[in-house]
Every structure is written in structure tokens, then in C-alpha cells.
Amino acid sequence: MERKQFALGDIVQMKKPHPCGTNAWRVIRMGMDIRIKCTGCEHSVLIPRLEFERKMKKILVKADAGDAADGQEKQS
């Protein structure tokens, strides 16, 4: 099975909506665990990567790759 491609700053849709009624989440931390923040009520959740990949339905908005590349160049 192909792994889902997502990046820091992406806004994703999960299979089930958050209790506040919103189904859009921003990826704010990546590693072995993924931290996502609800775009409606700002509640954040830490989910293991494999569970996140199973529960993610699709990417709604991709993060701007140009900003990430500029940030890496400035740090060098």
C-alpha cells in the first residue's frame, strides 16, 4: 500500500469530524507522532503516524513549498 504524502503546514480532512463540527486540521508537528490542530476551535491532538495515515481522508490545502525551502536556505 502506498503511503500518503503530507507535509508540515498542510490542512487535511480526517474520516470523522471533530466534535466542534469542523473537519479541517492543520499539521503542526511531524515525527513518529503527528500533531494536528483543529482549524475551528484550535484544539490540538497528538496521533501516532500510522494511525494518522489510516484516519486521514485527503489533503485540503497543501503548505506552500516555497516558504519551507526559503527557511532551510536561511538556516544554512
Where are the strands (E) in the chain, listed by range? 11-14, 25-29, 33-38, 44-48, 56-61
pTM value is 0.73
Instruction: Return all residues near 13 (Cβ < 8 A) that are at least 6 apart.
Output: 23, 24, 25, 56, 57, 58, 59, 60
Q: Is 71 inside a domain boundary? A: yes
Q: Is 59 inside a domain boundary? A: yes
Q: Is 5 inside a domain boundary? A: no
Q: Is 3 inside a domain boundary? A: no
Domain that holds residue 28: 11-75
Q: How confident is the model at residue 71 (pLDDT cuts 50, 70, 90)?
A: very low
* Count of structural domains, the chain: 1
Return the number of other C-beta atoms located less than 10 Å from residue 56's C-beta. 20
Q: Is 6 inside a domain boundary? A: no
pLDDT digits (tens, 9 = 90+) for 8-34: 989 999 998 889 888 999 999 998 999
User: Which helix H or strand E contains 75, and what residues bound it?
Assistant: helix 65-75
